[in-house]
Structure formats: structure tokens, C-alpha cells
Structure 1
Amino acid sequence: MTSCISSLHIYPVKSLAGINVSRSLLTAEGLMHDRRWVITDEQGEFMTQRSCARMATLMPAIDEHHLILQAPDRRHLFVALTPPEVAPSRVRIFGSECQGLDEGDEAARWLSDFFERPVRLKRVPFDNQRRVSPERLGDHVAHTGFADGYPLLVAATSSLAALNARLEARSLPALPMSRFRPNIVVEGTAAFAEHDSTTLAGEDLSLWLCKPCERCRITTINQCSGEIAVPGEPLKTLTMMDHGAQAGAFFGENAVVMQGIGQWLHTGMPIWMR
């Protein structure tokens, strides 16, 4: 079977629901519109499903002029894609200090009403300087928006099948790929080949598969309902599997762009790992 891109996914607002797309423009900081916005408290600390699972129930969309958020009660927030003319303000994502452009009081009121606490919506500034870990990348300089640490996450359908086989053997329900919030899903590879490879390549495309992704409690959250069906799973099962070089709940591989900026990725696109 020829290896190819099976699906593409973007998450415009960090920790909100994702959007499945048939094609996406590859930028130096990942897929276009991916993790370009973040919800913070009034001090700039980011919000995450780790502490607020109902973030998964806010559905984003992108049209020609707007980021659109839809709440479960069908209320909508429209945010212009044109950046606001404001001075950058503080954003803190784990230990990473960076900058964001505040989207204003209307967006803040809408989101504060939904979360029942004061929050702000911020976007990545045009001159974003948030670097991907120099400790991991060495002399290669890469930047990311509001992702946890890396601009891309690659996963394989065969890896999910292997995990689901193990879950089913333990009488646990199989999981959809959405639990792992990848950007690029590939098919036609061996299970967990992404952990045994350093490069995902295609025509005029090269991604450095630079760090296995150790998973957190977000994988326990149903990405449609925001509920936890089986506490601790699939983390417990992943920890018992031996597909990584080190012990832990690993699934998917973090990646940075080496070649292909400005190229449109699309489902069905031939790729290979090496």
C-alpha cells in the first residue's frame, strides 16, 4: 500500500475543537490557521482542556473574513481575520512567555459568558518570535504559534489501529483519531513508524520528526461532548505498550518544517517516512 496523507486537521483556537480539512497551506509555523488564537485569563495564562474539558464543545470555523466560534446553544462569535491594531500583551503557555494581540472586549465578553469567568482571546502577532525548543533542535531555528511546543503533530492510522486492538483486548472502547488532535494523519505505514523515523517526506516536502509526543489527560476527553468516558484511558494502555524508545504514554510525533513552506498539503498526497 502506498503511504499517503489520510487526513488533515487544524485547531484555530488552542484547546477548542478542531476542523477537518481536505487541504491546507503549509507555513513555517505549521498548517495555516492552526493554533493562531489562544484563550487566556486576565493575566495572560493560557486555558486548556486539561483544566476545562468543556473547551472541546466550542466549535470553530474559518470563512473568507472571520474566525467563527459556535457554542453548544448555537450562539456565534465572529472575529475578523484582519489583526487588531493593538500593542502585543503577555501570553504564558506552560513555561513559555510569548506575545499575543488581544481581540477586544466583545470577544472577551462572549467567551467570559461561556466559561463563567473573565477571559481574553488573543492571536499570534505578525512578528511572532516564539521559538521551538533550541535544546531539541540545536542550530535549526523554528517557530510556532500557540501550540504546546511544536508546530505540527503527525500520527498514523496504523498506530491508532494498534492502540485500539490493545484497548479492545482489555474490553475498553476503541477511540477515534480526534482524541489525539493531530495535524497530519498518514496511512500505509507500519504501526508507530512515526517513532522510528526522522523524516516525513513528499514531493518538495520534508518534515523533521523530532520528538515523540507524550500524551496528557486531554486524550481522555471525548472531543465531541467534553466528557471523560473511561478515566485514565488511553494513557494507561499506552504506557503498557512498548512502541517507544522510552517508557511513557506516547502517541504521535512532533515535527517542524524543513522544506515545503508555501506548499498545499492535501488528502491522498503521497508521502514516505525514513
Structure 2
Amino acid sequence: MTQVTVEQLFIYPVKSCAGIELTEAELTPEGLSWDRSWMIIMPNGKFVTQRQMPQMAKIRIDFSEQALILGYEGEIFTVDLNPPVSDPITATIWKDECQVLDEGPAVGEWLTRVLDSKQPLRLVCMQGDFVRPQSAPERFGADTHTQFADAAPYLLTNTASLDSLNQQLSKEGKDSVDIRHFRPNIVVSGLEAFAEQESKQLVHADYTLTLCDPSSRCIMTTVNPDTGVKHPEMVPFKTLTDLNAMPDNERVPAFGMNTICSTGEAIIRVGDKLQIS
């Protein structure tokens, strides 16, 4: 039986900003603890990502015991981890309307300035008792919910798939990419390239990861995670499309699997061994 190993773990506390690599993390029904717990929005309440503002990749995230820490080119801004005392407002992520709390004008002004936004930005978190509607119950189950993730609670990727992509990029004389271009939560090894798309479950003694469907990728894969600049030749989007297109759309690349955790809360660790079932 094929054995799969957890190689890396990432969370992205502020949607579309830089991630934090961890050696262990808490699995929850909504994703890894603290993953996509905050989101940046426009005045109309619509969410903002690297699709519109690729320089968001340069906002580094950290935590202290009491604060979320945002960093941009040497500047630091801290946000209290306690939920703000304010009336909820409505924010929209894709087709979902969420009740959120504004983290205040100061952090909004800071984000607007460092990102050189033409419109004022706001940082929001989910209102404590609000449960985001499940817009795709046929894919992830009616009882599966997320904070501000695009789709499933987890994104799982495979090191062999990245190796295959980089080998093809090398043949084409193009820049290689690292796993951060794909913003996964869980990175595994032990599967052949793109074999994750044929796998159903990865089972550990403490938890089970159910791989639901391939993740369609967008222009964000072309953003350099260090510089916040889109690649002028759309690397790796075009090559990945030719190498591994979505099963139902040959013009859109697939990389990684939308994943849910179908058991109760547990701790996932780098080095965990999983079995395919």
C-alpha cells in the first residue's frame, strides 16, 4: 500500500497575503486553525486578492500572544486578536454574503497606503456567531463550512506534481516555481505526479482527509510570492494548462485538490504518515 508523508503545512491568516509555514497545526471543520480568518475588502464590501493587487503577496503575517502582526517592507502594524467591538457589516466573497466585523480605520488606512490602493481598504474578520453559507454542498457536503477560503476548507498539493511542472518549465526554458505559488495548506509526498487527482482519501490514525475534486488555478499562480509581481510570460499558468488541465475545461489548469477533514478536531504534523484508501 502506498504511504504518503506530510511534508509541509501552511496557513494564510489574511486571505491573499503571505502564508506562515508550520510544523504542526490544528485541523478543524473550517480548515487549519487561523487559516483565512481575515479578509481585505473594498468600500462596496467585495473581497480583494492578488488578482487585483498582486503586491498583497508582500504583506507578511505573524502572531504574538495578543495580536495579528502585519508587515510590509519594514513597516509593522498590529491588530488585536480579540474581535472588534462594532456593528457587523456585509462583505461578499464570490457569491457568498458574510456578516463581518471591521478591524478599524487605522489598519484600513495602513493597508490602503502600503498597497497604494485607489480605493480605501478595510480589514475584516467573520462575526463570531455567523456561519458562512455553503455554496457547493454537492462538492463538499452540506455541513462543511469555511472562513474566507475560496472553496474547500483545505487545499492539498503533491511534491511530485510540482517536480513534474518544473521539469516541463525547464524544457521550455522558463523560470521554475515553488510550492508557494499555489498557496496550499497541506503538501504531501509519496504519490506520483498528479496521482492525487485519482485518490479519494488519505487516512491517519487521528484524522481522514477526503480529496473532493481538483483545484482550478487562476492568474494568481503567476505572482512571485517574494516580489508581488506577475510573471510577464504568465509562468506557470500556460505550461500548467498544457500539462494538467481541469477535467472539464482544457483552458484552465488544475493543481492540488480541494479537501475536507471528515473526522473530528485533531493535530496534523509534518512527518505524519498517511495511507490511501
TM bucket normalised to smaller? over 0.9
Q: Give the TM-score, by structure 1 length.
A: 0.94
- Which stretch has the larger CA shift, 180-189 or 98-107? 98-107
Structure 1 residue 39 displacement after superposition: 0.5
In structure 1, what is the Cα distance between the partners aligned to 2:56 and 2:145? 25
Does residue 46 (structure 1) correspond to residue 72 (structure 2)? The answer is no
Distance 1:220 1:243, change over 3 A: closer
SS of the residue corresponding to residue 166 of structure 1 reads helix
In structure 2, what is the Cα distance between the partners aligned to 1:184 and 1:168? 25
Distance 1:144 1:49, change over 3 A: same
Structure 1 residue 231 displacement after superposition: 2.4
Check conservation: 1:17, 1:60, Cα contact below 8 A. yes
Q: Hey, what does 1:64 align to over in structure 2? A: 65
Which amino acid is the alignment partner of residue 220 of structure 2? I
SS of the residue corresponding to residue 45 of structure 2 reads coil
Distance 1:138 1:46, change over 3 A: closer
In structure 1, what is the Cα distance between the partners aligned to 2:246 and 2:186? 20
Which amino acid is the alignment partner of residue 67 of structure 1? L
Q: Hey, what does 1:113 align to over in structure 2? A: 113
Q: Superposition pairs for residues 98-247 of structure 1, below 5 Å? A: 98-116=98-116, 117-137=119-139, 140-242=142-244, 245-246=247-248, 247=250
Q: Hey, what does 1:269 align to over in structure 2? A: 272
Structure 1 residue 66 displacement after superposition: 0.8
Check conservation: 1:192, 1:243, Cα contact below 8 A. no
Corresponding pairs, count: 272
Aligned equivalent of 1:254, options 254, 258, 263 = 258
Structure 1 residue 139 displacement after superposition: 5.2
Q: Residue by residue, what CA displacement relative to the aligned partner does 1:93-142 show, whole Å, maximum 9, x if unpaired?
A: 12221121111122112112222331110012222311333343375411
Does residue 20 (structure 1) correspond to residue 21 (structure 2)? The answer is yes
Does residue 75 (structure 1) correspond to residue 75 (structure 2)? The answer is yes
Q: Hey, what does 1:9 align to over in structure 2? A: 10
Which amino acid is the alignment partner of residue 163 of structure 2? A
Distance 1:244 1:200, change over 3 A: farther
> RMSD of the alignment, in Å?
1.7
SS of the residue corresponding to residue 249 of structure 1 reads strand
Structure 2: give runs of 5+ residues left out of the alignment.
none
Structure 1 residue 179 displacement after superposition: 0.3
Structure 1 residue 184 displacement after superposition: 0.2
Structure 1 residue 245 displacement after superposition: 3.4
Which amino acid is the alignment partner of residue 98 of structure 1? C
- Which stretch has the larger CA shift, 236-245 or 28-37? 236-245
- Which stretch has the larger CA shift, 172-181 or 246-255? 246-255
Q: Percent identity?
A: 36
Check conservation: 2:77, 2:107, Cα contact below 8 A. yes
In structure 1, what is the Cα distance between the partners aligned to 2:32 and 2:244? 30
Check conservation: 2:175, 2:235, Cα contact below 8 A. no
Q: Residue by residue, what CA displacement relative to the aligned partner does 1:182-209 show, whole Å, maximum 9, x if unpaired?
A: 0000011111122111212211211221
Structure 1 residue 230 displacement after superposition: 4.2
SS of the residue corresponding to residue 271 of structure 1 reads strand
Q: Give the TM-score, by structure 2 length.
A: 0.93
Structure 1 residue 256 displacement after superposition: 1.6
Q: Hey, what does 1:93 align to over in structure 2? A: 93
In structure 2, what is the Cα distance between the partners aligned to 1:203 and 1:50? 38
Which amino acid is the alignment partner of residue 132 of structure 1? Q
SS of the residue corresponding to residue 107 of structure 1 reads helix
Which amino acid is the alignment partner of residue 15 of structure 2? K
In structure 2, what is the Cα distance between the partners aligned to 1:42 and 1:140? 31
Q: Residue by residue, what CA displacement relative to the aligned partner does 1:44-80 show, whole Å, maximum 9, x if unpaired?
A: 11111001111011101012111100011x1111111
